[in-house]
Amino acid sequence: MNKKYIASVLLLITPLVFAPFTLSFFSTNKQTFVILMALVLLVLTAVSHLTTKKHHHQSSFFVLALGLFWAIMGLDILLTREARVEGLVGKGALLLTLPVITYLLATAKKSLKSLSWALMGLIAAGTMLALHGILQLVVLAEITTLPTWMRDISFTPAGSPLILMTTIVFTLIATITWAIKEKGLTKKTSLFTAAGIQLAALVAFSFMLAQKEIIIQLLPLRASWSLTLDALKSARELLFGIGLANFPALFTQSKPVFLTQTDLWTTIFQTASNEALQLLATVGVLGFGAFVLLIVATIKASFGLENTPLALTLRLTTYAIILSFFLLPANIITYTLFFTLAGLIAAHSSFQTKKEIALPGYASIVSAVALGTIVIVSGYFTYRVYAGEVFMRQAQLAFTANDAQGVYTAHINAVKIMPQMTDYRISFSQINLTLASSLSQSQSVNTETGKAPELTDQQREQISSLIQRAIEQGQIAAQLRPNLYSTWQNLGGIYRNLINIAQGAEDFAIQYLGQAIAKDPANPLLRVEYGGLFYQLSQLVEDKETQVNLLDQAIQQFQTAVRLRPNYANGQYNLANALDKKGSYRLAYQAMTQVLANIEPDSDDYERAQQELLLLEQKLPKTPQQQAGSQAQEQPGQYDLQQPAPLPKPLPGGPIELPQESQQLEPTPQPTE
């Protein structure tokens, strides 16, 4: 592959590539493709050093800004305390790879033909995405022979409707600009035809958004700004940010309470409302400043382009992409387009001074060996990342096919090849817990005695081994991501499912779910889960004082849940039940009236709540004056009424002793209010 055509391949293929072989069909495959293109460029550069004994370099403000950005990104990843590997596997790999591509493109020889091919690749990609989007809305979603995931109306090779629309906007600007300036009739007609397809797709998807048939959720700017300010409170975070992969942890810990009053109350956002705030929070002032400097250098270099249709197309498209960084979240396609086009600008700008550096003697060999080593190490790491995603996809498919052995084996392989991936550890812990639960319940109940036979020593040993592995994997996940609430929720959930099965499990369940609350204090769902644990434990004890204490703690969590979201019907429902159990009938009655006020009158839950309200009314010393539903909210909340899930039944033959390893991880109790 000729080095000068790498840009056209990148711009054409990156927006289109996807594959169902990995857990993420889109981002994993797009990023892997970008990395492979970078490795190809490095190999071609190494070959050039060996054959020509020269290195093409560029002395410019642009290259200086590019190098500074690359160095700060590497330093930021190196200094990240939590989720370093996940940050490197995700955006980190992209932000270290693309500057290399940009530099090698910028130092290549100027070629109008390669520039033309690159822009044609970009326009072709946008046109194909637009055409597929139109066909998806009109035809493809109805073809039953296609896989289910390809029949979803929002499916697009770009990855999501938002990414599709932003990519089409970029390509539409390029297409129209070139079409207006183009003098050749054939090419002009082709470009306007492509622009018509792209515009039609934008109109169609805009209509679908207006009709709410396609939903795009973005974190409000107000919340993004609040989170960014919170992320930069300490000097270390101010300079280097919280880490590329840690925005979800920042969101749950510092989420503005006003979000719980909106339709976004259950959403855990992975990014800020725009890329500028995302970078400021995750890589700090240094990383954000380096990126802004690179943008300035790119704009400055663009002033050195010749006054041609290709140059104007390149300039305006790049400006549009730069603007998008301050308006919307960025993605792999956006970053790839920006860095590739920036490299092309630098290569064709008259402001850039290019020179050839001689590599005499063994210098060319040393350079080639160094580049080859980088290619091998980077390629091996990329292989491991991709293989881990493939194994997790295999586990997903095996789970769908009810192949327990396949699920287990695939998880083991994924954890072995990528041991630092928290999601893999959490998933593996749940698989072990599920298998332990299935094995413990495999004994059929004797119809005469009404009891299940005692487990054999082998069965108890198998269950104990699976429980131990579930706990170990959950603990490792919590150690890898101690600021992420879901790791503690997972660990607390494991111990909750071991109550009545393993001795002392309830203490760890309370402790770890309390830690999850500390990491996500404004989560009504988590509050109800935590309160539900106290509620169920209160049903197990006979001591009246202990029972009241547990009920009080359950009530406290339920009350917090409904304070966070007043129209949360299930929170009010659980609060009513806990108050009823405690004997606070009037308060329970008031809570149940709020349940009725926040669910649809024609739902099954409404009838159920009405019946329970009547039962509570009979317990009151006198008829209350308030009428059910008098405080109805304008917008009903979640009204799927569920009592806390029952705790597991005791194992025949007595509880299993918890493994000693489970005692190693003891988080400091955190305040829950």
Tens digits of per-residue pLDDT, 220-243?
Answer: 999 999 999 999 999 999 999 999
Band of residue 659 on the pLDDT scale cut at 50, 70, 90 = low
The mean per-residue pLDDT over the stretch 28-57 comes to 94
Is the pLDDT assigned to residue 636 strictly greater than 50? no
- What pLDDT sits at residue 475? 96
Q: Are 452 and 652 in contact (CB under 8 A)?
A: yes
State the average pLDDT for the chain. Answer: 90
Burial 521-550 (b: 16+ CB within 10 A, else e): bbbbbbbbbbbbbbbbbbeeeeeeeebeeb
**Which of 508, 433, 496 is closest to 648 using CA atoms?**
496
CA 500-532-255 angle, to 5 degrees, is 130
Question: Which element (helix H / strand E) includes 100?
Answer: helix 93-106
Whole-angstrom Cα distance, residue 437 to residue 431? 10
CA 142 to chain centre: 29
Quickly tell me which residue has 């327990």 as its tokens. 404
- Distances in whole angstroms, Cα of residue 451 to Cα of each of 442, 447, 455: 13, 8, 12
Closest CA relative to residue 8, chosen from 283, 314, 394: 314
Better pLDDT: 648 or 613: 613
pLDDT tens digits, residue range 392-418? 999 999 999 999 999 999 999 999 999
Tokens of 307: 């006054």
Q: Each residue of 332-358: pLDDT tens digit?
A: 999 999 999 999 999 999 887 878 888
Using the predicted structure, report yes or no on whether residue 631 has a pLDDT greater than 60.
Answer: no
Sort 570 into a burial class: Cβ within 10 Å, 0-12 / 13-18 / 19+: buried
pLDDT at 628: 38
Answer for the pair 77, 87: CB distance below 8 angstroms, yes or no.
yes
Domain ranges of the chain: 3-359
Give the mean pLDDT of 485-508. 92
Question: Can you tell me whether residue 195 is helix, strand or coil?
Answer: helix
- In the numeric block, the tokens 């090849």 are attached to 417
**Looking at residue 619, what is its pLDDT?**
86
pLDDT digits (tens, 9 = 90+) for 185-200: 999 999 999 999 999 9
Query: pLDDT above 90 covers what percent of the chain?
Result: 75
